[in-house]
Amino acid sequence: MSPDLIAALNKQANRELSTSNLFRTLAYWADAEHLGGFAKFFATQAEEEEDHAKKFYQYLTDRGTVPSVGPVEAAKTSYEGLLEIANLLYAHERENTKCIHALYEVALSTKDYATQVFLHAFITEQVEEESWTDKLLTKVKQTACGGALFSLDRHISKELLGSD
Ligand SMILES: [Fe+2]
Ligand SMILES: [Fe+2]
């Protein structure tokens, strides 16, 4: 693979790992706020993002490059509430889509067909990530008043992904 493509793949791998770190932190934040549903949901997202990072690292290895794992910056630990988090995740996933597309451009310009195919799953995954973060933002805005937050917390996984 071209050095540019290797660097771009490694950068995205570390971005996936740092996204996992962010979700892991949000899971602990939600737990501390006694929002058990969100804690579970964010923990599941943390695992999913770690899986994404591992897929990139394994792909680099399979193509003959030992990946440079990390370092990962710590996510911030204090948030005003779920609205701040929902806004942050909405922006984060849209930014991530741009990063995946930029990486795909490198695979196109270097004519690396295997990497293009490898990235298709991530391009598709971003459609799902943008969709649930959009729903999350809408739902959190709807809970601005009353006990609606506790009901959302109980059903968050089902609301966003259709599964408990
Ligand atoms: Fe991801
Ligand atoms: Fe996902």
Mean pLDDT for each 10-residue chunk of the chain (164 residues)? Answer: 97 97 98 96 98 98 96 94 97 98 98 98 97 95 76 86 76
* pLDDT given for residue 146 in this prediction: 59
State in Å: Cα 43 to ligand 1 middle. Answer: 14
Query: Rg of the chain over CA atoms, in angstroms?
Result: 17
CA nearest neighbour of 56 among 102, 105, 5, 98: 5
Half-sphere exposure in the Cβ direction for 95 (13 Å, CA): 10
* pLDDT given for residue 6 in this prediction: 98
Burial class (CB in 10 A: 0-12, 13-18, 19+), 64: exposed
Question: Cis bond leading into 71, ω under 30°?
Answer: yes
State in Å: Cα 111 to ligand 2 middle. Answer: 28
* pLDDT given for residue 120 in this prediction: 98
State in Å: Cα 72 to ligand 2 middle. Answer: 20
State in Å: Cα 52 to ligand 1 middle. Answer: 5
C-beta separation of 52 from 110 below 8 A: no
> Six-digit token pair at 52?
């994404």
* pLDDT given for residue 140 in this prediction: 92
Q: Is the dihedral of CA 154, 157, 158, 163 positive or negative?
A: negative
State in Å: Cα 88 to ligand 2 middle. Answer: 16
Alpha carbon of 110 to those of 8, 46, 107, 113, 131: distances in Å?
12, 32, 5, 9, 31
Please count the residues of the chain: 164
Nearest ligand, CA 52: 1
Other CB atoms within 10 A of residue 83 CB: 14
* pLDDT given for residue 162 in this prediction: 82
Could you tell me the fold of the domain covering 3-161?
A: Ferritin (1.20.1260)
Nearest ligand, CA 93: 1
* pLDDT given for residue 143 in this prediction: 86
Half-sphere exposure in the Cβ direction for 72 (13 Å, CA): 22
State in Å: Cα 142 to ligand 2 middle. Answer: 23
CA nearest neighbour of 23 among 52, 61, 2: 52
* pLDDT given for residue 21 in this prediction: 97
State in Å: Cα 49 to ligand 1 middle. Answer: 5
Dist CA 12 CA 31 (whole Å)? 29
* pLDDT given for residue 151 in this prediction: 80
